[in-house]
Structure 1
Amino acid sequence: MTATEPGMSARTRAWLDQPALARLWDRLRDRLERNGLQARGRLRLDGVTAAEREALALLTGRPYAGDTVSIALADLDAQLRTGAAGRGLVEVVTELRGPLTDRPAARDARRATAEAIWSAADDTLRSHGLADAVWAGPWLEELRRAGTLARLAPDRARRLIGQAIDVMSVLTGPVSPGAGMGRAGVPGRGELAERVTGTAHGLDDGTLLSRIVLRALARAFEVPPPQDARSRRELWEAAGVAVDRVSTTVLTYGLVPLGDEPAVRLLRDRTRAGFETHLTLRDLARITWRLPPDTEVHVCENPRVVEAAADRGCARPLVCASGNPTTTALTLLDALHAAGARLAYRGDFDWPGIAIANRMIGRYSARPWRMRATDYEEHVATARDRGTPLPPLTGAPVDALWDPELTPAMTALGVAVQEESALELLLTDLLSA
């Protein structure tokens, strides 16, 4: 609208735009935007000057006394329509102060856009069979509370969350991490990123997509969100994703595979020399695992057990999972299991340790290695006899699926027992031929 259009002359516009009415139009702009561009309610001006009072009286046709003026917006709207302005309050304020924003409508539009993003996320989860995954709902709620996606353009937010769900589908569906600890055939991070985003760098550290996915993985694995490069790498690998094939290793001792390949000979020579060995994913790819009949491989959680076993010249093969097993550890254990090895697993007597043991024992039908209720009670009694303090159990209890008496025993005694506390007992088993 311009000053030359019928109904509002240049003279009228100049009069309305006088300094004495400037505060009125400024306040009306804010009020109308908050009102959804509706001329309703009253506007109060305090500390009115004599010049403002005179101009307001001429504008509304009403005299005012004192330094406070209250104006009904509907009355002012009618006065402007029938007066020289020839148009309503919204049109006049727009001409004098520029386009107005219907704030309630804009807020509703933003809400509708946001709801559409989360509705699309729900639909994508359902389409991947992940709607009932225990991590999915809390993860989406966490993203909503964080507000990061709300600050993005809607199309980008919808695309990012869809890509994150695509990644989680590869990593967790149809088997959840709690049941399977990653899936066979999961590609490396670069390959996974290229498959989902079209670029091999789509899941690199520092990308918003990688942060969103890692939040989901932390929920799925019931661990804190990663805070540094090492914890991010460990979480990717716990989900079965190799960040690369050489920087992470699995610690082993005593493996004697059969065959004449160079990698097999090297491993066998190190075992015969009494050396522990770190194997990379590239090493594992070079080995065709054939084992002596009736091989049993003991699996521990703490590297100290491997170190002590090597120092004592233990006879039995040993693999260290190093806490929540990495991709490299799982790749080795999968290969040993497929080659006919029986596995025996030992971890910590705390709730994260029980959760890991559930997954390991379930994945490999492994024998619990000194991990029954009687073993726990014996460890606690020995520590107390020696006056050795034990840390308290923290977090929610986890049912030990291999021994229904273990969780009640741990809950009753309320202390955690780390694997290395039973080092001598474990070495006794490993020394036996």
Structure 2
Amino acid sequence: MKNLLLILSLFAVSCVQAEKPKKPTYTLTDEQLLDTVQYYTFQYFWKGAEPNSGMAPERIHIDGIYPDNDAHIITTGGTGMGLIGILGAIERGWISRQEAVARFEKMISFLEKADRWNGIWPHWLDGKTGRVKPFSPKDDGADLVESAFLMQGLLVVREYFKTGTEAEKSIAERIDKLWKEMDFAFHTQNQNVLYWHWSPRYQWEMNFALEGYNECLIAYVLGAASPTHSIPAEAYHQGWARSGGIQATNSGAFGFPLQLKHNGAEQYGGPLFWAHYSYLSLNPKGLKDQYADYWQENVNQTLINRAWCIQNPKKFKGYGENLWGLTASYSINFYDAHRPGNDTGVISPTAAVSSIVYTPEESLKVIRNLYENYGEKVFGPYGFYDAMSPEHNFFPQRYLAIDQGPMVSMIENYRSGLGWKLFMQIPEVQAGLQKLGFSYQPGN
């Protein structure tokens, strides 16, 4: 805490159009560096929140240019990804429990009244009205995956507050009600697989089945864990695991094998958010089932991603041990799911930063390089900007919630294990994992 106060005395953050933090005149220790990155990234979900809902805006553009003037559009999944970061801010003394309670009361009041279908929220909501903002023409209703990302964070909040003051217990109880209203079974269409989208106008026309492996594992874990609308184990094994077809043979690269077929990216693995989104609360360390050891899978996917950037087959400027990390983010073509094999020369800071749980030393080198050598070109009032490229002189001053959330929550998980500990102790989660055939031995 003393180190943080020293750092914060040199930095100033106000609201959305905050002054950029100034670089201190001395070298930060690793702990001070993580304090700094975590604190400013947390501000995306605190001072950067949409005022009426208290939830995370889909994006914040420091350059002030918004597509369709959408600064008031909030993201359900992106909000959920940052909730562990808010709890971490309580633990680190950056905000009080009372301030956090007030914020969560605002969020939950908004979510209780916002558009839902069978208890499932859409991807985007209008923060002013609570009405759906279509993500695409037919994606104008229930989004199971984004709602799962939201609920995994809310359940951690429920655990954190469930034995607290009356106000805190009330938050936990209201989250519990929202959780029990989520109808995962409806999203199976009476088949042994989960479907991503349902629309009040188009029903199941998008017809997107959740088949692995990608970022969607948490939807199956929560579906099996639901105390009211649970899915059968067969949905996981026949749907997600493709009746065993999810397992890979001779997959991987650079000496790091992959146990699972990464959809459309089997040799090198998918974009690194596949190792992040479902694991912000679900602890992969010691988590295994008949298909994979999830810790080893995520570590190896990260190491493959890093090794690709070090090999740098396209000879992009800046790439190396101190600058690696390919995942979905803003790009030179607006937005791209960067990965080995689909590499445009754009580094997404969230890739290496959020991977700190898997590759602490390697990720810290990237964090320090970005902070010390690129400075204000890549670091602003809400932490690292979404993307950068020395090759293309591309340094957009823009943020996306779905990239900020994994950074702040994974840094906290790396430092204290807070989100992982709370989520993995939830009785329904433990029962759901057992139902699907998972074993979990923390510390292994």
Query: TM-score, with normalisation over the residues of structure 2?
Result: 0.25
Query: TM-score, with normalisation over the residues of structure 1?
Result: 0.25
Q: Which of the pair is proportionally richer in helix?
A: 1
Which structure would you say has the larger RCO, counting Cα contacts within 8 Å and 6 or more residues apart? 2
Larger Rg: 1
